[in-house]
Structures are given as structure tokens and as C-alpha cells.
Amino acid sequence: QVQLVQSGAEVSQPGASVKFSCQASGYIFTYYYIHWVRQAPGQGLEWMASINPSGGSTSYSQNFRGRVSVTRETSTSTVNMELTSLRSEDTAIYYCARGAVAGYLDYWGQGTLVTVSS
Amino acid sequence: QSVLSQPPSVSGAPGQTVTITCTGSNSNIGADYDVHWYQHLPGTAPKLLIYANVNRPSGVPDRFSGSKSGTSASLAITGLQADDEAHYYCQSYDSSLSGSGVFGGGTKLTVL
């Protein structure tokens, strides 16, 4: 069965960077995009980025361009996200999700809580 | 401000029908990008409800249906049940944002 398992919660300071991961299983990793979506407290869902695991090409939301980097490791079917220059507004649950060809997100990870606090 | 606009809240009594709209523009929904819908319950990951405007994944009841016309899309829920109470989000892509994904602001459905 398709599973996306995300790494555990992180606490970081303002101005620092944070890196977290999403490991896929149950399907051919290179056949589907992986997207990142976040939800800040009391806010809606926000699309952040996507990666094509086949070639590694990425797409980033303009809201995060320059602060976010998404990479993949095909040997472990893992996608990593790094967010830099953290601010308190980056406190959120970060989800990875599998993206089908038509662009919908059919399987989701359990979420990684990132807390930015001094 | 979200690129896709949804009403912040809708409500209905059990058994009734509610419709949630998602209004976009000529650079997203109107540019022929498909619209997808998700149900989000607190403390859980979002769940795909409708994909490619009108299709239901396996296991989603036929009480949920989607439609798209012009620069808007809609999600209809018939025969409301208490466990339908959740947040609902539309999602698409936008050519003016280099093809980035976009979500609606979300709609909280309250079952009275």
C-alpha cells in the first residue's frame, strides 16, 4: 500500500534553517511527483513546492522562493525539504503528498510539526 | 489573499444539501487547469475528495460531487451527515505563477 512517512517534529530558532523528510513506499518512487503543503495555526492549506523524483526538477511557490529547497534521494525513495531564514510565521504542520499526473494529491504523509521559537 | 476564493463557512442540517464554490480566474481554473477538492479534519492529513473536477476516488461516497464551469468550480454534498463537518479546500494550478499549485482559502462546513 502507498505510504508517505514523514520525519518527526522540529523546534528551531528564528533565523535558523530546518530540514525534514518524507519517505515513500508502496509504489514506484520515480513515477509520481511529491508536493509539499503547509498549514499554519488557524490558517488554510498553502502549496509550497513540488519535485519530480525522476529527474529532480523542482517548482517553488513565489512566496518561498529563495528560502526553500527540495531534493530527492532515489536510493531511499526519500524527499527532503529545507527551509531557511526561519521566522515565527513558519510555525506550521508541513505535509508531503504524492502528486498524480493530473495534478491532484492522492496520498499524504502524516505531517511534520515545525515550531519556530526563541 | 488566496488565488482561489471560497466562502469561509457554510452550514446545513442533516439530510440537506450544501454547495461550496471555488472562484478563480483566467490564469487558473479558466485556463483549463483541473480543480481538485480535499476534506480536512483536525489532527489528520487532508483527504482527496474529488479529482479532475468531477471524479471521486474509490471509497468516497456519491453524496459528494464536483463540477466546473468557466472560472469557477463547485463541490456539492447531499444528504449531510454529522461526520461531514470539516474544512474543504479546492486546489488547482496557476499559469501566472509559473504553474505553481494553488489552494482556496478553505470552507468550514458546520452540520447543524
Grid cell listed for B86 = 470539516
B93 touches chain A (CB under 8 A): yes
Q: Which pLDDT belongs to residue B49? A: 97
The per-residue pLDDT of chain A, averaged, comes to: 96
Q: What are phi and psi of A111, to 5 degrees?
A: 95, 145
Q: Which pLDDT belongs to residue A79? A: 98
Task: Tell me the percentage of chain A whose pLDDT exceeds 90.
Answer: 93
pLDDT surpassing 80 at residue A91? yes
Grid cell listed for A100 = 498524480
Let me know: does B2 contact B54? Beta carbons within 8 Å: no
Q: Which pLDDT belongs to residue B99? A: 81
**Of B41, B43, B110, B36, which is closest to residue B75 (Cα–Cα)?**
B36
Per DSSP, the three-state class of A30 is helix
Contacts of A35 in chain B (CB under 8 A): 101
B108 touches chain A (CB under 8 A): no
Cross-chain Cβ contact A45/B45 below 8 Å: no
Q: Which pLDDT belongs to residue A31? A: 96
pLDDT bucket at A23, cuts 50 / 70 / 90: very high
Q: Which helix (H) or strand (E) holds B20?
A: strand B18-23
Q: Which of A35, A102, A111 sits opposite B101 (nearest CB)?
A: A35
pLDDT in tens, A45-68: 999 999 999 999 999 999 987 899
Let me know: does B73 contact B53? Beta carbons within 8 Å: yes
Task: Tell me the percentage of chain A whose pLDDT exceeds 70.
Answer: 100
Residue of chain A whose Cα is closest to the Cα of B101: A47
CA distances from A63 to A45, B70, B85, B112 (A): 13, 27, 30, 37
CA distances from B72 to A104, B66, B69, B91 (A): 17, 11, 6, 12
pLDDT in tens, A27-51: 999 999 999 999 999 999 999 999 9
pLDDT in tens, A66-80: 899 999 999 999 999
Per DSSP, the three-state class of B41 is coil
Which residues of chain B register pLDDT less than 70?
none
Q: Which of A45, A50, A59 sits opposite B46 (nearest CB)?
A: A45
Other Cβ atoms less than 10 A from the Cβ of A57: the count is: 10
Let me know: does A79 contact A53? Beta carbons within 8 Å: yes
B28 touches chain A (CB under 8 A): no
CA distances from B35 to A36, A50, A69, A77, B32 (A): 18, 17, 26, 28, 9
- Alpha-carbon gap, residue A71 to B101, rounded angstroms: 18
- DSSP letter assigned to residue A99: E
